[in-house]
Every structure is written in C-alpha cells, then in structure tokens.
Structure 1
Amino acid sequence: MTTPVAAAHRGGAEESAHDFDAFYAAKFDVLRGQIYAYLGDRAEAQDLVQEAFCRAYSKWKKICRYDDPYGFVRRVAWNLATSRLRRQRTSMNFLRRQREEHADGPSPDRVALVAALAKIPAQLRKAVVLHYLGHMSVVEIAAQEDVAEGTVKSWLSRGRAALAGHLQD
C-alpha cells in the first residue's frame, strides 16, 4: 500500500523530470546554436551542450530552484566550449613546434618479410617476431607464453621453415 508521503514524493520526482524535459526541449537548440557559432563545429557544439544539460540533470532538484536555471546550463556549456578551444590551441601550438621528420619507406626485404610472416600460423609468427625482432630469448618467450622452452624451440624451428618456403617465392 502506498502512503500519501510516498505518492507525493513519486509525483514530485515525475514532475521534476517533466520540468527538466520541457526545459531541455525549450533551450537546447538555442544554446547549441550559440556554441556552434562560437566553435564552428556543429557536432562538437552538440556534444558540449549535451554535456552541460547532463550536468544540470544530475543536480536538477537544486538547479530548478535557481532564479535562472538556463543561466547555469549556458555558463557550463560556454566554459566547456572555451576549455575545448584552449585545448585545441595548445595542441596546435605543440604541433607547430614539432620538426617534421621524413622517414624512408620500408625496404623491399622488409615488405617481403612482413608478407611472409602474414602467411605462417599466428603462434609460429609470434615466436619468430619475439625472438628475432623483439630480441627475446627462448627462456623469456617461454615464460611470457607460459609454455616449456622446448615448445618455443619447436615453434621457432617450424616458423623458420615456414618462412623459408614463403621467402623463396
């Protein structure tokens, strides 16, 4: 049986959620338009305004009593947008200071090796790569893969044989 107090509380929660829904519907597009004009990125503006409304929703019982709840959401959205621009500016400044280094493409031997490795079974490929490219010992590979050293030696032997067949082509 529902007590009058519980019914009033439940009605208050439903009413509060309804008030937020109406508030959201009335203000979202207006605020998104402002933030979009500020940022120049509609998707980013939508995300930031959505975040501002999410923050307001989590505190809605308190915020709905403010003289201007929209002012709170607007301030949060603008702060988020300003922070976003600041992070972008910092990132761009960092990137401008970086020296561009040009690296040569892979050698034909490297391309052939990668293609041959792709053709052998995954476990053999892993053992070969860890041993020859990762410079790990048989003992280290055995410990990492939780197998006996003999198993690793077998994988390496079979891996080398499989690679030899593909590299002769």
Structure 2
Amino acid sequence: MSGHQGVAAPPQDSVTFGRKPDPEDCVSLRDVFDGSYRRLVVQLYAVTGSFDEAEDVVQEAFVRAAASGGRFLRVDNHEAWLRTTAVNVHRSRWRKLRNGRRAHERMVPPRDPGDLEDHLEIIAALRALPEPQRQVIALHYLADLPVQEISEELGIPMGTVKSRLSRGRDALASLLDQAEGGAGHV
C-alpha cells in the first residue's frame, strides 16, 4: 500500500477505473448518476413495464459501469452506455424467465410516479405490445433516439426498427382507441 504515497486521493464519489487517480481526469459517477438515473428509470419503465424491474436494471447498469474499468470512462455518451446496458440486462433476464412468466402481470403503479402520472394509460398499452415493439417505441419516443441509434443499441437492422415502430404505433393507436371507449380497429 506504500506505492501510492504523494498521490492525492480522488473525491469519494469519483471513480478512476483502476488507474492512478488524476484529479482532472476523474469521472464522477455521482454526477452521472444524478444527471441520468431518473430519466433512465422512466425510459426502462416503459421498456420493462415494471417500475421495480426498471430501477433494478438501471442500478445494475451503474454497478457494471463502476466495474467496467476504463471502458465506461472512454465512452462519449455515458447515458447511452448505461441505457444499452440496462436494456441488455433486461433482455437477458426476460429470455431466462419468459417461459415461466405469466402472459399478463397486473400492472403495479410506480412508487414515485412523477412524470409517469399522466402516462399510465400509455404505459398499460405499451405493456400489451410484444417486447420488441415496446423496446423500439420506448427508445424512440421516451429516450428521443433516432432510428439509427436504436438500431445500433439493439444490434438490429434499421429496417427492423422502422417496421417495429410502424407496427407498434398501429397497435398502440388501436389499444388507446379501445381504452377511450372507441370502436377499436377490427
């Protein structure tokens, strides 16, 4: 432990990712967390349909960021890296559990609805969509990502993203029309 004499310790909420601390080069995980956590939970809530799952996968993404070494430090967009990681964590969990899950779980209202309060009907409609459509809809409309970025984050062709967006919008329109008491689309 005597090899670090003369080097000032970085602030406690900073992460230097396994390198010698350099006060000018530290990325404050606290700043990234404070600036991105709430937005990421809202976005992942729309993807997962569960507030608890959204919180869990976003927290897991932050744990992986802290453990990733220099990779997280070198990314241009920390929030996009965290979102991609959280979506991938969710996808992995979903794949493992999909055969054992019930088709429709009762929607649990968020503990802190905040921005979601006015959107519960939309979230309920999103939950009725197939997972692939729900992911692209959430990333496009809630995360404001263009088709190309969604394609890159999910590792699917742009044409597939466009197709899922189109089908997802049509399905959402029908579901929301039915929820409002309209005749719906037959």
Q: Which band: TM-score by shorter chain?
A: 0.3 to 0.5
The alignment's TM-score, normalised by the length of structure 1, stands at 0.45
Tell which has more relative contact order, 1 or 2 (C-alpha 8 A, sep 6+): 2
Please tell me whether Structure 1 or Structure 2 has the larger radius of gyration of its CA atoms: 1
Q: Would you tell me which structure has more helix in proportion to its own residues?
A: 1
